[in-house]
Amino acid sequence: MVDLVVSEVGPRDGLQNIDYILPTQDKCRWIEALAAAGLREIEVGSCVSPKAVPQMADTPEVAAFARRLNTEIAILIPNLKGLKRALTANPQKISIPFSVSETHSLKNLNRTHAQMLDGVEEICAYLRTLPADERPEFEGGLSTAFGCTLEGPVPEDRVVTLAEQLMAAGCDGVGLADTTGYANPAQVRRLIRRVKAAVGEQNLSSVHLHNTRGQGLANALAALEEGITTLDSSMAGLGGCPFAPGASGNIVTEDLVFMLEAMGLNTGIDYDGLIRARELLQKLLPKAVELYGFTPAAGLPKGLCIRGDSQGDSLYVASPG
């Protein structure tokens, strides 16, 4: 049993934000290395228009490969059409990005909140027709929940209302995403409390944080302390941010795993395996793509061993040899 699920979103959030299409074979090799390192959940891609996001055109193939590995797979979809493509790989989890900022929603998916909610209902109705063993868990991901580059501050009341509406439309749960890297730890705590109070403790279990302004790990800790059990992160903070040159993308998986394990929490992840996956990624990507992460640069503190088999109670176990 892991104390906390680190959900690796690099193959989706990372790769869709870099100006290079990683060949299918290479994606599969990287995802295989991630699963071998002990990552229990991997967002392997998105089933969106290949014209809009050519980096994700091969998601069904990549997902079908990843489904055979020892990990759960998640796929992001924008609509029913995307769901039907995603289902060919029989993923365990599906999520839809629902932007709390309506301006962002119009720009990103060309849909108003009302149109988005209709789409979510349609997806839920379709999912209900599937046999239980083919029905993935469906999460409504509230993006721009902590602020929007187009609208600025986002009212918390609106986040809470949309979370309630997503649950009423039939989602299995909701997630909160700091798409823009605007969040601070006090805000993270407050919003998680408010949304949990509105939709029920068990219906908000994941957050998706970016490290655009260096607040990622502080926000992750705040989320952890509010009972969040799944944290999204991406290897090497891949993806960057088109609105903040030089800034990393998602919180860095390697740094997050170090923080959690050093605190005595079990992630099930083997740190050496993580570094092997990172080295492979570095080889597969063009040199111009920057890889982030403090822990890979500095190494683990002497005496700390993260092997993926800790029980969560052994701090700084001496490594053999």
Position closest to Zn ion via CB: 13
Q: Closer CB to Zn ion, residue 13 or residue 102? A: 13
Q: Which residues pair with 75 in a beta bridge?
A: 45, 94
Residue 47 catalytic?
A: no
Q: Closer CB to Zn ion, residue 217 or residue 300? A: 217
Q: How far is it, in rounded angstroms, from Cα 32 to Cα 44?
A: 11
Residues 47, 171, 241, 305: which is the catalytic one? Answer: 241
Backbone angles phi, psi at 179, to 5 degrees: -55, -35
Q: How far is the CB of 9 from Zn ion (least distance, A)?
A: 7
Q: How far is the CB of 31 from Zn ion (least distance, A)?
A: 18
- Which range in 11-19, 153-161, 189-197, 270-278 contacts Zn ion by CB under 5 A? 11-19
The DSSP result for 45-63, as a single string, is: EE-S-TTT-GGGTTHHHHH
Q: How far is the CB of 182 from Zn ion (least distance, A)?
A: 12
- As given in the structure block, the two tokens for residue 251 are 């919180």
Backbone angles phi, psi at 272, to 5 degrees: -60, -40
State the DSSP H helix or E strand holding residue 74, giving kind and residue range, or none if neither.
Answer: strand 72-76
Figure out which of the listed residues 8, 13, 72, 261 binds Zn ion, where binding follows CB under 5 A: 13
List the x/- string, 248-287, binding to Zn ion by CB under 5 A: ----------------------------------------
Q: Closer CB to Zn ion, residue 17 or residue 314? A: 17
Q: How many CA atoms lie within 13 A of 112 on its CB side?
A: 2
Alpha helices in 216-252 (DSSP H): 216-225
Q: Closer CB to Zn ion, residue 13 or residue 41? A: 13
Q: How far is it, in rounded angstroms, from Cα 211 to Cα 247?
A: 8
Q: Closer CB to Zn ion, residue 22 or residue 127? A: 22
Q: How far is the CB of 305 from Zn ion (least distance, A)?
A: 31
- Which range in 7-15, 43-51, 108-116, 213-221 contacts Zn ion by CB under 5 A? 7-15
Alpha helices in 110-234 (DSSP H): 113-128, 156-169, 185-199, 216-225
Residues with catalytic function: 241
Residues near Zn ion (CB under 5 A) are: 13
